[in-house]
Amino acid sequence: MQNDVLKSDNPLRDIIDDETYFELEKHNLFSEKAIRDYKIRRLFRNMRKDMSAGDAIDKIREMYPYLQFDTVRKIVYQINK
């Protein structure tokens, strides 16, 4: 039962396994902002299959109302260094 709960809380499952994620989280080694931005970029990629970029950004803003349109745009089009 606990594994089911853990699996639902790993937003980086497509990158690292649950055990590793929770071990790193336990030691406070994640940036909440970085994980939020990663989730937003993943949402945007999935939404773009069905809608325009502007509509996708508006939908994301509904999920994260504290972010401005330009902020979401910068997150989704950010180029990793």
The C-alpha angle 45, 36, 53, rounded to 5 degrees, equals 30
- What total number of domains does the chain contain? 2
Walk along the chain (81 residues) and give the pLDDT tens digit of each residue: 344 444 458 889 889 999 999 988 889 898 889 999 999 999 999 999 999 999 999 999 999 999 999 999 999 998 654
Evaluated on CA atoms 10, 16, 17, 22, the torsion sign reads: negative
> Domain residues for 75?
31-81
Does one domain contain both 26 and 37?
A: no
Residues 23 and 38 in one domain: no
Q: Which pLDDT value is given to residue 5?
A: 41
DSSP state at residue 32: H
**Verdict on whether the full-model pTM lies above 0.85:** no
18 and 49 part of one domain:
no
| Secondary structure tally for the chain: helices H, strands E | 5, 0
Distances (CA, A) of 64 to 7, 10, 19, 25, 70: 23, 19, 28, 22, 13
Q: Are 15 and 43 in the same domain?
A: no
Query: At 13, phi and psi to the nearest 5?
Result: -55, -30
